[in-house]
């Protein structure tokens, strides 16, 4: 009889410990990423989807610029804390603990596209023509064109961060009246003060 | 999920049809309760032509669960009252999708379709009225004259396009109006074959007709300039439905 009581007490302790461990999630790790590089290129959007322009000749109505933002790990701000318990939390089937967060440490303060050649009468060489480019942002109602000046990393998903890079297509929505060879330059200013400047190969549009 | 929901609906479908009733202890009441029945409804809309096919609900086929109960008061009475309910899951065919692809593919790339599918939707028809039965032995025929209501559920459809050789993107949107339940006339004939004293096989053929003046507004939006082109399709005329179902029924004699 006495041994039965001991067994019952031990079982109560074990069950209580298991229940407590269910709610004893470790602190989730936060992985912070920062922009490592920016590469740019011409894209041809004349088909169903935008593709890299292999030849330097693109219809001006379907021209675009691809920005490829690549990320790297900045730092790990927090680690899982050690908790004393009678059993491993991983064995508790009812636990729904967050494993880790992935976030960007920096954001784009300003994004601008310059034409290094004469674009039109009001935009001579080295003019800012950012207003002529738009980014198509999908949403539940198909999508909308947003100004590239308003673009930041806020809409980047954790999956894209983990993937290591995210492509952003800037569509030329107001093409020049004259066809010819054009060269564009992209300047991105980050919140930590870094500035990325990339010049794209000349293109005939 | 949709199929699971439909199966669940079938499982809980204690449909009640009344085929006949003659119970020794209940001389004054005959009952026929159809508790399980599956079928199909085919719809024909004879209104204006020219609208995008496959867009309104009333042009679509549905999978049905039918419940019914007929009661005859009096041992030798052939006249009774009937209550019938048809629950339908709409079968979303690809007519609208094909229409959009064929109609716009010369100048545009079809990207994707937004909004919900008809397959997520359920509609019902409910009616009550008088019935008359023939036969007392193994075979029973019940004719019904029912009036009731049909739920009406047209849904919004949206498709996005990209113009060929261009950066321009467009949204084609169809928004319905006039989704109101409709008064319905539902004549029906039921055939019953008694397997034993309490169980019968049933076959039902129900015709139903209702009128619903609804419309669809077509909006073609340039997502860059927000310029919109509007067009309205007005639908008139009766909607004809034929429902066929097989099932099982309890008979209380």
For B224-240, what is each residue's pLDDT tens digit? 999 999 999 888 778 89
B57: helix, coil or strand?
Answer: helix
For residue B221, give both structure tokens. Answer: 């939006």
Instruction: Decide: residue B189, CB within 10 A, 0-12 exposed, 13-18 middle, 19+ buried.
Output: middle
* Interval B183-204 mean pLDDT: 93
Burial annotation A41-60 (CB, 10 A radius, 16+ → b, else e)? bbbbbbeeebeebeeeebbb
CA distance B30 to A119: 89
Least confident of A157-161, A184-188, B2-6, B85-89: B2-6
CA atoms within 13 A on the CB side of A42: 22
Average pLDDT of each block of 10 consecutive residues along chain A (205 residues)? 70 70 71 89 92 85 94 67 49 63 84 93 92 89 86 77 87 92 93 92 88
Q: Which DSSP symbol is given to A73?
A: E
Residues 101-120 of B with CB under 8 A from A: 109, 111-112, 114
User: B172: nearest CA in chain A?
Assistant: A142
Q: How many angstroms away from the CA of A170 is the closest CA of chain B?
A: 10
- Minimal-distance CA residue of chain B relative to A146: B224
**Residue of A61, A63, A136 lying closest to B169 (CB–CB):** A136
Phi then psi for residue A194, to 5 deg, are: -70, 150
Q: How far apart are CA B164 and CA B183, in angstroms?
A: 47
Mutate to test the interface with B, among A142, A169, A174, A175 (most CBs of B within 10 A): A142
Q: Give the count of alpha carbons within 13 A of B193, CB side only.
A: 4
Residue A38 near residue A145, CB atoms below 8 Å: no
Residue B161 pLDDT level (bands cut at 50, 70, 90): very high
Q: Which of A47, A143, A172 sits opposite B223 (nearest CB)?
A: A143
The shortest CB-CB distance from B223 to any of A63, A64, A144 is to A144
Number of neighbours of residue A164 by Cβ within 10 angstroms = 12
> Residue B9: which pLDDT band, with cuts at 50, 70 and 90?
very low
Q: Is the pTM above the cut of 0.80?
A: no
- B101-139 per-position pLDDT tens digit: 888 889 999 888 776 678 778 899 999 999 999 986 789
Statement: residue B144 has pLDDT above 90:
yes
Interface contact A61-B165, CB threshold 8 A: yes
* Phi-psi group of B226: left, alpha or beta (phi > 0 → left; psi -120 to 50 → alpha; rest → beta): left
| pLDDT (mean) for B162-191 | 92
Residues of A in contact with B111 (CB under 8 A): 48, 142
């Amino acid at each position: 009889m006495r041994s039965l009581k001991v067994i019952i007490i031990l079982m109560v302790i074990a069950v209580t410990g298991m229940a407590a461990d269910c709610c004893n999630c470790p602190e989730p790790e936060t992985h912070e990423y920062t922009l490592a590089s920016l590469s740019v290129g011409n894209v041809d959007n004349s088909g169903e989807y935008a593709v890299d322009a292999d030849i330097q000749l693109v219809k001006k109505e379907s021209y675009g610029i691809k920005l490829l933002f690549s990320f790297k790990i900045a730092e790990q701000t927090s680690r899982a804390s050690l908790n004393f318990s009678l059993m491993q939390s991983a064995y508790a089937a009812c636990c729904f603990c967050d494993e880790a967060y992935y976030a960007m440490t920096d954001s784009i303060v300003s994004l601008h596209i310059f034409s290094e050649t004469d674009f039109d009468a009001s935009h001579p060489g080295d003019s800012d023509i950012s207003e002529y480019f738009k980014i198509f942002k999908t949403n539940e109602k198909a999508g909308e064109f947003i100004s590239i000046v308003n673009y930041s990393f806020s809409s980047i998903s954790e999956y894209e961060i983990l993937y290591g890079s995210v492509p952003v297509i800037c569509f030329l929505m107001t093409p020049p009246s004259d066809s010819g060879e054009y060269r564009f330059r992209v300047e991105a200013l980050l919140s930590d003060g870094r500035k990325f400047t990339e010049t794209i190969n000349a293109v005939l549009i | 999920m949709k199929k699971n929901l439909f199966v669940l609906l079938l499982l809980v479908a204690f449909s009640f049809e009344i085929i006949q009733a003659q119970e020794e202890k209940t001389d004054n009441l005959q009952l026929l309760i159809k508790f399980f029945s599956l079928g199909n409804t085919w719809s024909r809309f004879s209104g204006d032509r020219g609208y995008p096919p496959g867009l309104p609900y009333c042009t679509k086929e549905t999978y049905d669960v039918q419940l019914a109960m007929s009661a005859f008061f009096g041992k030798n009475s052939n006249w009774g009252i009937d209550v019938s309910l048809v629950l339908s899951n709409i079968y979303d065919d690809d007519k609208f999708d094909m229409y959009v692809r064929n109609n716009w593919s010369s100048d545009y790339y079809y990207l994707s379709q937004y909004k919900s599918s008809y397959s997520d939707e359920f509609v019902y028809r409910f009616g009550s009225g008088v019935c008359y039965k023939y036969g007392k032995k193994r075979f029973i025929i019940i004719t019904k004259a029912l009036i009731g209501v049909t739920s009406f559920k047209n849904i919004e459809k949206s498709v996005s396009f990209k113009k060929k050789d261009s950066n321009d993107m467009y949204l084609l949107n169809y928004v319905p109006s006039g989704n109101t339940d409709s008064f319905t006339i539902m004549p029906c004939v039921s055939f019953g074959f008694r397997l034993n004293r309490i169980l019968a096989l049933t076959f039902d053929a129900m015709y139903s007709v209702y009128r619903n003046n609804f419309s669809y507004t077509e909006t073609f939006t340039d997502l860059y300039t927000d310029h919109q082109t509007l067009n309205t399709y007005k639908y008139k005329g009766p909607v004809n439905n034929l429902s066929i179902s097989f099932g099982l029924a309890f008979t209380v004699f």
